[in-house]
């Protein structure tokens, strides 16, 4: 779980970036873009103003213009470097963990009949962790046959992302698989509750 301080710093970085690109952007549109409450957005903007990173110019009683100051530009650059470094570290740590877990999954695969049969897996989750996992698959003998996510959006590397309700036993929309691989480091209790409701045998669920 990301702590509130780094999360707020990332929100501040994105707010500074938005003000640099469009000084007429509204707090309401910022809140929508950041996915946070309008009240929190207002508090973060006030904090940036108090630190001298943003100036507020009142154009009309109900309309303001936000100007990022030279100090704000310098701070945004520092935040951007820190964000990039953290992203690279997250990628490396996640890649190493997934590679180890995929190796353990493959080496511990039971001999269920004819040797040489494909080791078919379905990803449960289509976020950043799953994207890194997809890249790691190239170094394994595991075969991805489907992807499920509670918030299906765009296709995942050519796979249609299915809603978990399409999971039935060991099939996803009729496509058989052997293991459901949970591609998330989120709340394990909440994830376990989701999995239990899917009618997938728990001994066929693999956790990273």
**pLDDT tens, position by position, for the chain (208 residues)?**
344 446 778 899 999 999 988 878 889 999 998 888 899 999 999 999 999 999 998 877 778 899 999 999 999 999 989 888 888 888 999 999 999 999 999 988 886 545 668 899 999 999 989 999 999 999 999 999 999 998 877 899 999 999 998 998 899 999 999 999 999 887 788 888 888 888 888 889 999 8
**Residue 157: both structure tokens together:** 């590397």
d(C-alpha 12, C-alpha 159), whole Å: 34
Q: Catalogue the long-range contacts made by 33-42 (C-beta closer than 8 Å, 24 or more residues apart).
A: 36/11, 40/11, 41/11, 41/15
């Amino acid at each position: 779980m990301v702590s509130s301080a780094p999360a707020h710093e990332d929100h501040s970085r994105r707010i500074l970036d938005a003000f640099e690109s469009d000084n007429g952007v509204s707090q309401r549109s910022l809140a929508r873009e950041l996915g946070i409450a309008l009240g929190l957005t207002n508090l973060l903007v006030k904090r940036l103003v108090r630190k001298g990173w943003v100036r507020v110019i009142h154009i009309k009683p109900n309309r303001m213009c936000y100007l990022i100051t030279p100090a704000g530009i310098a701070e945004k650059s520092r935040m951007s470097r820190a964000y990039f470094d953290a992203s690279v570290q997250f990628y490396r740590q996640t890649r190493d963990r997934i590679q180890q877990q995929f190796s353990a999954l493959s080496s511990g695969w039971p001999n269920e009949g004819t040797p040489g049969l494909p080791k078919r897996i379905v990803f449960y989750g289509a976020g950043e962790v799953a994207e890194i996992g997809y890249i790691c698959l190239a170094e394994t003998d595991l075969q991805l046959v489907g992807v499920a996510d509670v918030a299906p959006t765009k296709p995942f590397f050519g796979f249609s992302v299915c809603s978990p309700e399409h999971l039935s036993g060991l099939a996803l929309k009729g496509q058989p698989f052997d293991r459901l691989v949970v591609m998330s480091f989120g709340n394990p209790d909440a994830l376990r509750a989701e999995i239990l409701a899917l009618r997938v045998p728990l001994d066929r669920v693999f956790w990273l």
